[in-house]
Structures are given as structure tokens and as C-alpha cells.
């Protein structure tokens, strides 16, 4: 992706949108399908950016995150080799993309995951990977406000 500011996550697709939409589904099979569909809306990451420096440790699948800062806001290029993990990245991007570093650090991701009822429906390794993604992004935000 040449311009990370074009991603719909964090602007057109928000945490509130995701919470509202997930509330319509009666079961987790439907919710998983929605999360996977969200992942399919992530802008494609340039293959050249899929390097070991951008790889997130602790994830069951391969996950790459490339941060950008523009106009005081953070933008992220993200990718995974697994459909469900791409969807989880999309959920995280709804919270963190197109936000100031202070907004990223102020957002209560654990509370958001609780509202989604998400972590209890993921394997422990997927949950750990999700937390690793969040920690990497928060670390980037801390570096911007330091």
C-alpha cells in the first residue's frame, strides 16, 4: 500500500461500528465470519515490508506491522498469513489506526476486548498473539510521545 492514511480502519470503520455489528449476530460462528470479512478489507501490505524486523513475536501465525506517523497521527500497515488473524488485526486497527499516539495509549483495549467477548473465544496462543500486536503498537505510540 503506497498511502497508509487511506485505510478505512480507525476512520470509516470504528470500534463502535464493530461492537454494534457483532451485537447483531446470534453465535460465534457468524461473528468469526464477520471478523474474517473485516480482515479482507485491510489494505494490502507491500511484500517488501514483510521482513523479520516487522514480524510480531508471540503470534501463532505470521503478523507484520509497519507504523507510519503523519500529521501527528499514527497509521499502520498490517498483514497476516491467516484469515482470522487478519480479522483480529482489523479489529485492532479500528481502535488504533488514524489516531494520535496519546489516543492510542489512552484507549482501553482490554475493555474493548471484553465488550467484544473476544478473548474467551480464541485459543490461548491466538489471545497471546493478539496481546503481542497491541503491545507492539502501544510501544510505537510510547516512542512517539517520549
Residue ranges for the chain with pLDDT beneath 70: 1-2, 146
> What is the predicted pLDDT for the residue at 6?
82
Question: What is the phi-psi region of residue 25: left when phi exceeds 0, alpha when psi lies from -120 to 50, beta otherwise?
Answer: beta
Contact present, 87 and 42 (Cβ < 8 Å)? no
Domain positions in the chain: 4-145
**CATH class, range 4-145:** alpha beta
Question: 109-116 and 15-24 are packed helices; what angle lies between their axes, rounded to 10 degrees?
Answer: 20
Catalytic residue flag (residue 144):
no
> Which member of 18, 59, 104, 109 is catalytic?
59
101 and 74 Cβ atoms separated by less than 8 Å: yes
Segment 32-64, tens digit of pLDDT: 999 999 999 999 999 999 999 999 987 779 999
pLDDT (0 to 100) of residue 1: 43
Residue found by looking up cell 461473528 in the block: 31
Amino acid at each position: 500500500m503506497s498511502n497508509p492514511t487511506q485505510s478505512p480502519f480507525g476512520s470509516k470503520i470504528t470500534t463502535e461500528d464493530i461492537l454494534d455489528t457483532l451485537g447483531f449476530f446470534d453465535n460465534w460462528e457468524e461473528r468469526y465470519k464477520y471478523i474474517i470479512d473485516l480482515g479482507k478489507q485491510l489494505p494490502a501490505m507491500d511484500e517488501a515490508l514483510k521482513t523479520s524486523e516487522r514480524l510480531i513475536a508471540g503470534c501463532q501465525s505470521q503478523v507484520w506491522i509497519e507504523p507510519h506517523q503523519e500529521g501527528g497521527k499514527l497509521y499502520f500497515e498490517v498483514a497476516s498469513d491467516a484469515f482470522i488473524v487478519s480479522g483480529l488485526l482489523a479489529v485492532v486497527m479500528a481502535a488504533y489506526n488514524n489516531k494520535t499516539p496519546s489516543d492510542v495509549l489512552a484507549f482501553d483495549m482490554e475493555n474493548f476486548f471484553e465488550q467484544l467477548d473476544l478473548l474467551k473465544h480464541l485459543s490461548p496462543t491466538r489471545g497471546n498473539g493478539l496481546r503481542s500486536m497491541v503491545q507492539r503498537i502501544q510501544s510505537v505510540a510510547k516512542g512517539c510521545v517520549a
